Amino acid sequence: MQIDGQTIGDVIDTFELLDDWEERYRMVIDLGRHLPKMADEDYNEVNKVRGCTSQVWIVHDVDADGKIHFRGDSDAHIVKGLVAILLLIYSGKSADEIKAIDAKAMMAKLELGQALSPMRTNGLYSMVARIKDVAASA
């Protein structure tokens, strides 16, 4: 998956070049601004992610090849950017591929753990758990 022409590999490469966390935050927020719009009916309690301080919604579709495609949104700019990063990591993959991805290792590559508050980190892993649950039930 790409957002604004970027893959997760591009984001990781750019993060390695940015020394300042303020620049990284701006990049994360910008990724969130380029998320595809969700349909109004997708903003409901079923799609809402529990465990996030901000409001977060994640929806999915499974294509004919068994690939799971996620869409998401949040009411907070930085969280919306985190949703974008998760979509770059997980969307367009099979259930087995999603289950095999080590979320903590991916976050370590982005060095997000040291930059996010404990509440944001908990919310991030609540989103990952939701994505993994979708893959487990697919």
**Prediction pTM value:** 0.93
The CATH number fitting domain 8-137, selected from 3.40.190.10, 3.40.50.300, 3.40.50.10860, 3.90.1010.10: 3.90.1010.10
- Selected catalytic residue, list 31, 35, 52, 124: 52
Q: What is the pLDDT of residues 30-84, one digit of tens each?
A: 999 999 999 999 999 999 999 988 999 999 999 999 999 999 999 999 999 999 9
Residue 52 known to be catalytic: yes
* Contacts for 68 with CB less than 8 Å, ≥ 6 apart: 60, 61, 62, 90, 91, 92, 93, 94, 95, 98, 134, 135, 138
